[in-house]
Structure 1
């Protein structure tokens, strides 16, 4: 916890000096008692319970910041928040929301985006401030996220591994600042996608191979507008096993670029996963008799806020698995 007390503004000192001068001219000098002057100086402490991490391109994570009025007068404070992250941070990459105490709804914390020489900042001031009675405290409900774009318009490049959140108690009118402040570093962690126990080889025109596709959300963020994609050879047919044990063939999708692999959506378009969950999908892949022999790849990737163009959004990919395609005459 960081505690700081405001110094008297220069204009307040000037007024006091003028009053002293007037008293001398009138033949009397009456200085205010130090305690009485101190009563008019705003004082506060700030406690920040920020999350240790958020999901990269995920939904926001809730936290609180508590302002304690250590003075003797009810005071309306300003709460200023700013974030600092790497130059690869694009616009619409970071959001902060606050819960309106009047109606309990989440509203956007107004943030301004700025490029610096070696970083990117978002900064803003909580609308209307926070009124705290003397000796009391008020907890402000907040949430911070790294959506990396807008719904169905995710950033396809750029990013950051952490963000520094700086919180400060200031005056709404700018007459005093720096009463209390804290800085926390929040990691940005992506989803993890992987393939488990993929066979080393498959026969062209032969039996399918089976394995697991694993999507792990170990972050504190939920994810929506998610595409969990497996890229394969165009000659491949991909099936997934449903809850009833039956196998379902997935539609192959192309991004329209010649030579690029095709992909299948393992859970369909715009799927989701909750914080802390792991999804395991049983997959089988067969290769037709015309599949060229030699090495081919199976590549897992996830896309968040994919737009109209397939496979264009905030992207995170796992390790590829290599499968050797054997000629139709070979034994699997």
Structure 2
């Protein structure tokens, strides 16, 4: 078994454009096989795609294997496309391949197309001389797929999708554009989970702080970077987090500049991260000054990925808010 050496040329880019319209909805509308003086090309395709990827997370690795089931050496190309909901924005989906020459990941150019019922990203994975596989042999291509939902520090602020259909097809590099084998895999797009645990129901204005846990869980196979784990709170509140040495550290309150919007604090900083499968638990202490109006106030956990210069604007996932009843200072006596 070997890893394909994959390169993309101007010639193959033109070829990809020629078949782009045939890649919609996971089916190839390719012309009938040409007449062959010798045995027609044959191949099977095996796709080991992930069951899920992290929504706005880093890409997840997988492989596709082309097996030459014919009796003569054959040269192939690989066509890849994805189909997802209309809420999918540009720069939402990426596919990379690993160059075996230097072991680096390189972007696989995808063409974005918004249709009447869905969004597709499509392209042709090729190289100058194609991929030649001897009769009875196979070659494995190392790939990864991700849903970054935008560019670094320029994440989509709304819209999205719950899953993506990855369609793969192996074709013979003989001008016939016949799909020798093709597979479609549905990949879920799962978000981070943010929540608050055991938040007290009441707090006294000017009194003792309340304590609880802020929990950030990454149940996906994706790592996350450029992450802002935010707790929204009342402008009268002071928020502290407990460091590893047991001391409490006050956090700066941040506003997005929109009147009436709540202020927030970054529990781990604006550009933090979390690894696939990990959970981060932060002990939080919140106090309300003596001028805090009596009545209900809220604490809200949200996560922003790839925020830009404006706070709280990026790919957003929020958890359930908690309500705290503020009692007047006299209630402390």
Please list, as runs of the form range in 1=range in 2, the aligned pairs for 1:194-205 lying within 5 A after superposition: 194-205=195-206
| Residue equivalent to 1:74 | 73
Question: Is 2:48 aligned against 1:49?
Answer: yes
**Cα distance in structure 2, aligned partners of 1:232 and 1:94:** 33
Higher Cα Rg: structure 1 or 2?
1
Q: Say which SS state the counterpart of residue 226 (structure 2) adopts.
A: strand
| Residue equivalent to 2:132 | 131
1:262-319 per-position Cα deviation (integer Å, ceiling 9, x unaligned): 0000001100000000000000000000001100000000000000000000000000
| Residue equivalent to 1:309 | 310
**Cα distance in structure 1, aligned partners of 2:256 and 2:174:** 53
**Cα distance in structure 1, aligned partners of 2:125 and 2:158:** 30
Deviation, 1:101, is: 2.1
**Cα distance in structure 2, aligned partners of 1:284 and 1:51:** 39
**Cα distance in structure 1, aligned partners of 2:107 and 2:207:** 55
Give the superposed CA RMSD: 1.5
Q: Say which SS state the counterpart of residue 179 (structure 1) adopts.
A: strand
Please list, as runs of the form range in 1=range in 2, the aligned pairs for 1:245-256 lying within 5 A after superposition: 245-256=246-257
| Residue equivalent to 2:330 | 329
TM-score using structure 1 length: 0.88
| Residue equivalent to 2:153 | 152
Deviation, 1:174, is: 3.8
Please list, as runs of the form range in 1=range in 2, the aligned pairs for 1:64-103 lying within 5 A after superposition: 64-103=63-102
Contact 1:227 1:269 survives alignment (8 Å): yes
Contact 1:79 1:130 survives alignment (8 Å): no
Change (3 A) 1:142 1:329: same
1:202-254 per-position Cα deviation (integer Å, ceiling 9, x unaligned): 00000000000000001000000000000000000000000000000000000
| Residue equivalent to 2:144 | 143
**Cα distance in structure 1, aligned partners of 2:140 and 2:232:** 47
**Cα distance in structure 2, aligned partners of 1:265 and 1:7:** 55
Deviation, 1:113, is: 0.3
Which sections of structure 1, spanning at least 5 residues, go unmatched?
A: 1-5, 17-36
Deviation, 1:7, is: 9.6
Question: Which ranges of 4 or more aligned residues in structure 1 deviate by more than 2 Å?
Answer: 6-10, 171-174
Q: Say which SS state the counterpart of residue 329 (structure 1) adopts.
A: helix
Deviation, 1:173, is: 5.6
Q: Say which SS state the counterpart of residue 330 (structure 1) adopts.
A: helix
| Residue equivalent to 2:283 | 282
Question: Is 2:8 aligned against 1:9?
Answer: no
Q: Say which SS state the counterpart of residue 326 (structure 2) adopts.
A: strand
Deviation, 1:50, is: 0.3
Contact 1:46 1:66 survives alignment (8 Å): yes
| Residue equivalent to 2:167 | 166
